[in-house]
Amino acid sequence: MRPNDSKIENTTINPQVSPAMNHGAHEVYDVHEVLSCAVNCMDQYVMMSQHVKDPELRNILDRQYQFMANEYNTLVECFSTGREPAQPTGKYKMQQGNNVTYGLRQSQPKAPMKSPAEINDQRISGQMLSAMKSSAAVKAHAACEVTNPVVRRVLADSIPNCIEMAYELFLWQNKHGYYQVAQLPQADMQQLTHSYAPATATAPLPGQTGTIQ
């Protein structure tokens, strides 16, 4: 038995707990991490905004920042009250097309900056993309640990938006040659994409009795 196990066993759980207290300890820590990540992400967008040169990237930055701010407010509200938020989670819609340029071209090796004078749209979009990927990962982890049904749903609905924003940034980078996409030889691609067969549903499974409804 661990030292704290006895304390947990002796704790009386009130079935009439208020919505505001309808959170597990693990959930509270994870949502704090999500909110901290959101603040850091929006702070990065603000700090980088004055350096953006490309009008399309600036438009992406502004739209994504506004959407993130709304999502942040929604999560803060339902996390503090335990109830349905006044503004539900929206659905982010990117303005990029879905065309991807495949293949590698000769380019200069990447290296860390030596001075702020090297800040450019390529580096800014890379920071934005990394922030979106990190946000998606931390929200996916937290959503699997949340006990409050409202907070869980807000987090779960937010993950596809992070993915969409990351994809929008990838497409912008790809279009400008900053994010190149390698492809396998056609024969290898064909073999790997056809290397799995569909599963055959079996009901009931071995050891089960009765039928599945």
The domain locations on the chain are 17-97+119-184
**CA 140 centroid distance within chain:** 7
User: What pLDDT, on the 0 to 100 scale, is given for residue 65?
Assistant: 98
User: What pLDDT, on the 0 to 100 scale, is given for residue 20?
Assistant: 66
8-state DSSP, 19: G
Q: Give yes or no for a cis peptide into 204 (omega within 30° of 0).
A: yes
The answer to which of 31-40, 104-113, 146-155 has the lowest mean pLDDT is 104-113
Q: State mean pLDDT over 108-133.
A: 94
**What's the rounded Cα separation, in Å, for the pair 203 and 121?**
55
User: Which numeric CATH code is attached to 17-97+119-184?
Assistant: 1.20.1260.10
182 vs 101, 105, 175, 178, 194, CA distance in Å? 9, 10, 14, 13, 19
Is the model more confident about 39 or about 10? Answer: 39
Q: State mean pLDDT over 104-123.
A: 91
**What 3-state class would DSSP assign to 177?**
coil
Q: State mean pLDDT over 191-196.
A: 94
Is the model more confident about 140 or about 204? Answer: 140
**What's the rounded Cα separation, in Å, for the pair 133 and 164?**
10
Average pLDDT of the residues of the chain: 88
Under a CB-based contact definition with an 8 Å cutoff, are residues 81 and 21 in contact? Answer: no
3 vs 6, 24, 27, CA distance in Å? 7, 20, 22
How confident is the model over 131-140, as pLDDT tens digits? Answer: 999 999 999 9
Place 96 in a pLDDT band, splitting at 50, 70 and 90. Answer: confident
The answer to which of 15-29, 52-66, 163-177 has the lowest mean pLDDT is 15-29
Q: Which residues pair with 65 in a beta bridge?
A: none
**What's the rounded Cα separation, in Å, for the pair 29 and 24?**
9
pTM across the whole model = 0.84
How confident is the model over 27-71, as pLDDT tens digits? Answer: 899 999 999 999 999 999 999 999 999 999 999 999 999 999 999
Q: At what angle do helices 25-49 and 55-81 cross, to 10 degrees?
A: 150
